[in-house]
Amino acid sequence: MEPTTVQPPPGQTPAAQPPVMSYAGFWKRFVAYLIDQIVISIIAMIIILPALGVLGLSLWSQEFDPSEGFIFAIIGAYFMTIMLIVVAEWLYFALFESTKGATLGKMALGIIVTDLRGNRISFGRATGRYFGKLISGLIFCIGYIMAAFTQQKQALHDIMSGCLVINK
């Protein structure tokens, strides 16, 4: 007796199988993150150094009197700078991952961020993924380290946002 195969009716194709994805490993993702942090640091220095120069020149031109108002102004400027950097970093990650599918570091290593079906993620999902990184880093970066041990190489913030990081 010969084995038989079931053919689909004429004009129909067999059910499509989900695409096979190659998940980006922990070290590849880590190096991409380092590249991204170098880019962000360069951009931050381009923004911060001129502001510090202006502040330094204004201090040099007057007699320095560390009054309470001056100290509160410096503290306020410091926190405002931190907020500016956080917003810039959020926009960097969220815009690149939602429009291009990858940040500059990920592009350099040939990896992209997708949803669980392999589609490009939305700006909202990319935003959730970015702020989920805060939770991933809270306890000794265990949320990040999870990417080395989960089946789909997902970190905690990937699981929370329903994302995958795959090789192109």
Tally of structural domains, the chain: 1
Which pLDDT band, with edges at 50, 70 and 90, does 4 fall under? very low
3, two tokens: 């084995």
pLDDT at 24: 94
Is the residue at 75 inside a domain? yes
Element housing 125 (H / E) = helix 123-136
Q: Residue 27 in contact with residue 111, Cβ under 8 Å? A: no
Q: Residue 92 has which token pair?
A: 């960097």
The pLDDT assigned to 60 comes to 57
Per-residue pLDDT, 150: 94
pTM strictly above 0.85: no
* pLDDT score for 11: 60
Residues 2-12 have a mean pLDDT of 53
Cα–Cα–Cα angle for 16, 20, 23, rounded to 5 degrees = 150
**21-65: per-residue pLDDT in tens?**
899 999 999 999 999 999 999 988 887 877 777 666 565 556 656
Q: Which domain does 145 fall in, by range? A: 26-167
Residue 97 lies in a domain: yes
Residue of higher predicted confidence among 114 and 17: 114
- Say if 125 falls within a structural domain: yes
Residue 30 lies in a domain: yes
Is residue 3's pLDDT more than 90?
no
Per-residue pLDDT at 6 exceeds 50: no
Q: Is 13 inside a domain boundary?
A: no
The reply to whether 94 falls in a domain is yes
Residue 86 has pLDDT above 60, yes or no: yes
DSSP H/E element including 90: helix 68-99
pLDDT in tens, 119-167: 999 999 999 999 999 999 998 999 999 999 999 999 999 999 999 999 9
For residue 160, the model assigns a pLDDT of: 96
- 34 located within any domain: yes
In a domain, 17, yes or no: no
